[in-house]
Each structure stands twice: as C-alpha cells, then as structure tokens.
Structure 1
Amino acid sequence: MTEVEEFLAAHGATGLDHPGGTLLAHLRRTRDTLEAWGARPSLCLAGLAHAAYGTDGFPHPLVDLTGRPALTELIGAEAESIVYTYGSCDRGHSYPLLAAGTPRFRDRFTGTERTPAPAELRDFVELTIANELDVLSHNEDLLAEHGAALHNLFTAWRVHASDQANAAVDGFFP
C-alpha cells in the first residue's frame, strides 16, 4: 500500500462501503482509470484522494477541512487543490451551469461562487467522469437511476474532456 493509501485507510476508507467494495477500492480504481487515460501525476493522486473531504454525492469525509494541511503535505498542493474543488462542488448548482457552457462552481462548504480556470475545469471533468463511470459500472440501480442524466452531462462536457475520457464515455453508454 502506498503512503497515500495508508493515510486514507487510517482515516476510514477501508471501513466505508461503496459500489464495488470499499471506498478505498473505489479510490484506487479512479486513480487507475486516470492513469490509464494518461493523466498527469497530480490528477492521479487527486483521483486516489478525491473523497477525502466527502462529496456532494458521498457525505462521508475522511478528513475534516482543518486537515487540509496534512493532505497537502502528503499529496502536494496541486493535487489537494483538485481534491478540494471536487469535494466542495455543489453539484446541483454547478453541473447545470457547466453543461450549459457557463462554468461556475459553487463551494458547498463556503457558499462562494467562482469561474474555474480552464485547466481546473478540465481536471474536474476528468475526475468526475472517472469517478462516475466506476460507480455506475459497480451498481446497476445507480446506472438505471442516473445513467441517462450522466450520459447527457458528459456529452455536454465533451469539449472539456480528454479524448481518452470521451472514448470511455462512448464505450460505456450504448
């Protein structure tokens, strides 16, 4: 187990059920997907730690926000920033704006809104696609309930995603 995986396990990632096994197993698969798509190391590390602060769809934080410095020290400032952006995203507000071509993030922790930089948006889209495809591939009920909406969302986000992520979306959805 890597140092990051040991940290996540020590903070409860092996004890949380998640589609496809434990949260740690899901985090590893998300990282592995990003690596297979050729993502840079910081994005892959963010994929491994993406649920550290919980998410709008998975409200089980492993680390309180006061623990940001410890995670930053472990995975680096760039990867931690991606993790924070991912975990803090108010999906109900931000996803429709991203799909409409007017990217705005609302931080669910602070309520602040901002326009993401293009590189930040691309990282967010890549991580979201890798995460959601893994979840849907391990839970038929979630696929039935959310698959069509996510497919539509990912189609709208194509311009922000890598060729590899777009190909994975195309291969996943009929």
Structure 2
Amino acid sequence: MLRAAGAADLEHPGGTLLAHLDRVGALLTTWGARPALATAGLCHAFYGTDGFAVALLPLERREELVQAIGEEAEATVYFYASCDRKASYRHLTDDDAEFTDRFTGERLRPALRQRQEFAELTAANELDIASVSPRMRAQHGAALLELFTRWRPLLSDPAWAHCRAVLA
C-alpha cells in the first residue's frame, strides 16, 4: 500500500519516504513498542503531518488504511497526523493536556497511553531524521532535545536513551 501510494518515489532525509517509514517502524520495535504502534510508525505519514504536508491517502479514504493495518493502528496514525503541533506539544505531559486536531479544530483530552504513544512515535520520527541528516540534527537537534526532555515522563527508557544518544 505504501509503494502504491508513491512512498518509494518521494524524497525524504535519508533517501525516500518509504525508507524513513521502514526505519521508524523498526526503531519503535527495537524500543519494545506493541505491534499496533510499530505498524502506526510504519504508516504515520499516510495523511500527512503538521511537519510533512504530503498525504499518501486522503482522509476520506481512512477505511482503506483501517482494512490494511487494523482499527487500532489506523487510529494512532490519524491521531499523529492530526496533531496541531503548535497548540498541542507544550502541555502534552499534563494530565489534562489539550490536544488540537488540525483537521477538525476539535480539542481533545487524550488519555495517558495515547499521549505516551504519540510521544514515542514523534521521537522515533524525529530521531530517525536527525540520525540520517547531520544538517537537520545541527539545525533542530537542540530544540528536539529540549522537547523530548520535557516529554521524558511519556517516553520509554529505550526511547529516552536513544534521544540522548542522537541529540546530546
């Protein structure tokens, strides 16, 4: 499905978007992520993101991704893609954190597990890019380290260790 959507043909730091997606899914697996989260990592760019505007599949066709990867993994993909980063990142660790859906404008209060998985997926995504692009790491590494330090309560020990190894 990723190949059919053109992920192998889109340039991305470290090669192609498909290569990046493969690495993100694999990184989540090495951190001990449950299978649905690792699958979401592989597919996290299907609807585009606040930082990567290219969508491989329009939102009107979400059911196709549900059929391919399951409801739980697709819901994580949607949640990740829907994040209005400017509105949502700052207070993600708060118990009453407000999360803004950039597609609908809706404000949600995600549960702890959803915030933890969002943080893990975000870390895997950003750390993969920082690992393969010295320019991106030099340009954004300090801000990413600051973000992930704030998010430390949400990150697994392996994810946090990887953050420090790549960004410190």
User: TM-score by structure 2 length?
Assistant: 0.96
> Following superposition of structure 1 onto structure 2, how do residues 59-74 of structure 1 map, counting pairs within 5 Å?
59-74=53-68
2:1 pairs with 1:14: no
Partner of 2:32: 38
Structure 1 counterpart of 2:114, one-letter code? E
Query: Among the aligned pairs, what percent are the same residue?
Result: 51
Residue 157 of structure 1 is aligned with which of 147, 151, 161? Answer: 151
Cα shift at 1:67: 1.1
Tell me the amino acid that sits aligned with residue 63 of structure 2. P
- State the secondary structure of the residue aligned to 1:39: coil
Aligned-CA RMSD value: 1.2
What aligned pairs does 1:89-100 form with structure 2 within 5 A after superposition?
Answer: 89-98=83-92
Give the aligned partner of residue 107 of structure 2. Answer: 113
Distance in 2 separating the partners of 1:99 and 1:93: 13
Give the 5 Å matches for 1:45-64.
45-64=39-58
Q: Secondary structure at the match of 2:8?
A: coil
Measure, in 1, the Cα distance between the counterparts of 2:90 and 2:116.
16
* Consecutive aligned runs of 4 or more in structure 1 exceeding 3 Å deviation: 99-102
Q: Report if the CA contact (8 A) 2:137-2:167 is conserved.
A: no
Q: Is the 8 A contact 1:100 1:156 kept in 2?
A: no
Measured in 2, the distance between the counterparts of 1:108 and 1:141 equals 28
1:141 offset after TM fit, Å? Answer: 2.2
Which residue in 2 is equivalent to 1:3?
none
Q: 2:92, 2:135 → 1: CA distance?
A: 25
2 CA distance for matches of 1:143 and 1:164?
A: 20
Which amino acid letter does the alignment assign opposite residue 27 of structure 1? L
**Equivalent residues of 2:40, 2:74 under 8 A apart:** yes
Give the gaps of 5 or more residues in structure 1.
Answer: 1-6
Q: Quick one: distance in 2 between partners of 1:100 and 1:17? A: 36
Moved more, 101-110 or 57-66: 101-110
Q: Secondary structure at the match of 1:98?
A: coil
Amino acid at match of 2:112: P
How far apart, in 2, do the equivalents of 1:9 and 1:62 lie?
10
Cα distance between partner residues in 1 of 2:121 and 2:75: 13
- Give the paired residue count: 168
Contact map agreement 2:26 2:38 (CA 8 A) in 1: yes
CA positional deviation for 1:103: 2.1
Deviation at 1:99, TM superposition (A): 5.8
Q: What is residue 124 of structure 1 aligned with on the other side?
A: 118
